[in-house]
A = this chain, B = another copy of it.
Amino acid sequence: MARTSRTDKARTRQHILAHASRAIRRNGVAGVSIPALMKAVGLTHGTFYAHFASKEAMVAETYAERIDEVIDGLLRPAESASQRNRVDAVLDAYLNNEHRDNPAEGCFFPTMSGEVSREVSPARVEFGNALRRYFARLAAVVPNSDRTGHRDAELVLASGMAGAILLARAVDDPELSDRILSACRDFYSDIFTDSQPLPIEPKARK
């Protein structure tokens, strides 16, 4: 096949990004080769450079365009839940075994943060921007401060959930892995769900 129409080109580009989005989460950026990616898309690797200037540029674009839809899938149920059930809706969507077992379909942050931290690149900037958008959406779902009165509750919840998925995937013992997820789910549910505020004021630190 020699060439396709302009609308086909736009479609091809989206196919590449869709496959890259999953392949990157499954194997890391370093684990995704352009020839393998293009083979999965169903084209030869030469075409890649008709769509992107470089692998690096494509990764940056994947982060810029594809992270939000994952966040959307994770937070939308919470956003349409009643105030009282929002935190549990986030926890149910994030800290479950299916999410743990399918990194290719799941949140970018546990999977890719380690690799991203090593780069100084356009991709890193896009990743950081996506993280900020995630924090903002999460903040709208979580009570302004937790039961003990801390601020930045969304940062605590975001890193707690990311760390739980991260370690639950790293551990090779399924029983321990399940315990990590359920311990964190129960813990954050109790702490972050609005209820009567705690009578004990947070102790001053140091």
Contact = CB atoms under 8 A, between A and B. Distances in A.
A125 B203 CA distance: 40
Interface residues of A, number: 68
Nearest to A128: B172
Given A166-B162, A200-B195, A155 B172 contact: no
Each complex incorporates copies of this chain amounting to 2
Contacts of A153: 183
9 A-B pairs with the lowest CB-CB distances in the bound complex, closest first? A163-B163, A159-B163, A152-B183, A128-B172, A113-B170, A117-B169, A162-B163, A159-B164, A114-B114
Interface of A: 26-28, 30-31, 88, 103, 109-118, 124-125, 127-128, 131-132, 135, 146, 148, 150-153, 155-156, 158-164, 166-173, 176, 179-180, 183-187, 189-191, 193, 195-196, 198-200, 202-203, 205-206
